[in-house]
């Protein structure tokens, strides 16, 4: 077959060391499917150039000979070649303003864009994702930040022993560190009740819970949380609450009952009821999928009101793993990276100074959390992508989309085809016009 595919190096920042296809899977695809690969060199990638060369790939700066190019994060405008096909996390489906010039450039040059985020089965379940590792790293970084914040407030807790996720090298080592913290909590107890709420129950949430469950946890139902008396908390455990949509939103029309599918299709018909839970939480981890039409979990107005009171709120840390800027967590005013992962949102001023000191909740908003476990996150992602690669690379992109031989799960992820938005994504025209 001898069809060449490219793998772009990641250069969004020095922390982005992930790859879409590992050397092992690349070697298997060359042998089993007859593909060839050209890989851009990188000095920071989790898998060195020598591993790709040993697997049989060509290492070259120029990928213009590759009609299909795989990446992880958004690609710069100058990298885009006419009539090429690109696969990466595009972050355009919500009309994200910062990425509209990139999308327009792809359209102008007659390109095809396939977004990993939209590769789904017939029931809409995602098939290729980094979500679990985002949850793993996000929860570890959140607990690390909690230890620092409580120390700043003069409270000593075992969480101060924790480091950021990337210091551990693997999620297994990191979870072991959290488990040791849990042993100390079980033995010595905590001075004050500590409750962690997780909004969402998908892949990201499951990764976060995987870490939190290394601690001794007291499972608390959302409806129980608002009625639990101070003495009912087990000080030798950490409270754990998982919120579904039925807990976080309610119909605007009181006569209408909650319907999950209706909420997905018409989020504007619902309003948030999450503020009733916030006073009972020490930590909030946001792992939901949010669109601008949907209600927020935490608003700036709520925080201004809460921090204007004489008694400081219980909420110390918001681990915003989903990281939509001014989205479900409106106080997420900017994204961060592992080098400077947290800031304090000051409700009174709207400022967000870096660090853990200040009047307001600490926001952890690293937007590429899986890069903290770059090698293992890439291995899992590549394993999910591997079986789709031959069909993607060998598809006929010169014919109409209906005839190009892409399987249904990949066709659902085609945002643009040969320079035109596909029918499911034509709504993006309104955002392109604003860019």
Which tens digits make up the pLDDT trace of 360-398?
A: 999 999 999 999 999 999 999 999 999 999 999 999 999
Summarize the confidence of residues 236-241 as an average pLDDT: 97
Per-residue pLDDT averaged across 50-75, rounded?
A: 97
DSSP single-letter state for residue 338: T
pLDDT digits (tens, 9 = 90+) for 193-224: 999 999 999 999 999 999 999 999 999 999 99
Can you tell me the mean pLDDT for 348-365?
96
Neighbours of 26 (CB within 10 A): 26
Band the pLDDT of 315: cuts 50, 70, 90. Answer: very high
pLDDT, residue 2, reads 60
Provide the token pair at 286. Answer: 């946001």
pLDDT at residue 434, rounded to an integer: 65
Where is pLDDT greater, at 254 or 104? 104
Average pLDDT over residues 35-42: 97
> What mean pLDDT do residues 46-62 have?
97
CB 302 within 8 A of CB 247: no
pLDDT at 232 (0 to 100): 83
Q: What is the DSSP letter of 337?
A: B
What residue ranges define each of the domains in the chain, with the CATH number in brackets? 3-129+376-423 (3.40.50.720), 131-372 (3.40.50.720)
Q: List, for residues 142-159, the tens digit of each pLDDT value.
A: 999 999 999 999 999 999
Report the C-alpha gap between 18 and 144 in whole angstroms: 23
Name the residue among 143, 171, 138, 89 with its Cα closest to residue 375: 171
What is the pLDDT averaged over residues 282-299?
Answer: 95
Cut 0.75: pTM above it: yes
Q: How confident is the model at residue 228 (pLDDT cuts 50, 70, 90)?
A: confident
pLDDT reading at 435 higher than 60: no
Tally of CB atoms within 10 A around 237: 19
Percent of the chain with pLDDT over 70: 99
pLDDT at 52: 98
Return d(Cα 248, Cα 284) in angstroms, integer: 13
In the predicted model, what is the mean pLDDT of the chain? 95
Report the alpha-carbon distance of residue 224 to residue 209 in Å, rounded: 19
- For residue 233, name the pLDDT band (cuts at 50, 70, 90): confident
| pLDDT category of residue 272 using cuts at 50, 70 and 90 | very high
- Give the closest residue to 2 by CA, choosing from 47, 49, 51, 58: 58
Find, among 216, 196, 229, 418, the residue nearest to 317 by Cα: 196
């Amino acid at each position: 077959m001898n069809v060449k595919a490219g793998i772009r190096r990641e250069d969004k920042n020095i922390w982005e060391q992930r790859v879409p296809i590992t050397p092992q899977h690349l070697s298997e695809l060359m042998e089993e499917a007859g593909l060839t690969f050209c890989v851009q060199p990188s000095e920071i990638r989790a898998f060195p150039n020598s591993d790709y060369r040993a697997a049989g790939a060509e290492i070259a700066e120029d990928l213009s000979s590759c009609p299909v190019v795989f990446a992880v994060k958004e690609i710069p405008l100058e990298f885009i070649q006419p009539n090429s096909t690109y696969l990466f996390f595009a972050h355009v489906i919500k009309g994200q303003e910062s990425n509209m010039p990139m999308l327009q450039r792809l359209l102008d040059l007659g390109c095809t864009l396939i977004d990993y985020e939209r590769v789904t089965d017939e029931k809409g379940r995602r098939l290729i994702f980094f979500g679990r590792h985002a949850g793993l790293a996000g929860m570890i970084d959140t607990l690390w930040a909690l230890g620092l914040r409580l120390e700043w407030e003069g409270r000593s807790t075992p969480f101060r022993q924790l480091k950021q996720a990337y210091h551990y090298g693997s999620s297994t080592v990191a979870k072991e560190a959290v488990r040791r913290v849990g042993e100390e909590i079980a033995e010595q107890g905590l001075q004050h009740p500590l409750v962690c709420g997780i909004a969402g129950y998908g892949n990201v949430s499951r990764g976060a819970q995987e870490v939190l469950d290394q601690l001794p946890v007291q499972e608390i139902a959302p409806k129980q949380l608002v009625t639990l008396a101070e003495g009912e908390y087990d000080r030798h455990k950490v409270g754990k609450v998982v919120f579904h949509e039925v807990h976080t939103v309610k119909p605007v029309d009181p006569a209408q009952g909650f319907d999950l599918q209706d909420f997905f299709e018409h989020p504007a018909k619902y309003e948030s009821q999450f503020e009733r839970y916030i006073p009972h939480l020490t930590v909030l981890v946001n792992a939901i999928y949010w669109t601008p039409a949907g209600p927020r979990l935490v608003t700036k107005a709520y925080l201004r009101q809460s921090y204007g009171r004489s008694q400081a709120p219980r909420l110390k840390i918001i681990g915003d793993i989903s990281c939509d800027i001014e989205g479900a967590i409106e106080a997420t005013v900017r994204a961060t990276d592992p080098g400077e992962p947290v800031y304090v949102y000051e409700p009174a001023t709207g400022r967000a100074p870096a660090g853990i000191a200040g009047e307001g909740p600490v926001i952890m908003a690293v937007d590429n959390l899986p890069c903290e476990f770059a090698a293992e996150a890439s291995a899992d992602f590549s394993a999910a992508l591997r079986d789709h690669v031959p069909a993607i690379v060998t598809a006929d992109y010169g014919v109409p989309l209906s005839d190009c031989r892409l399987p249904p799960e990949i066709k659902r992820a085609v945002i643009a085809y040969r320079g035109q938005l596909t029918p499911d994504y034509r709504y993006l025209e309104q955002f392109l016009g604003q860019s």
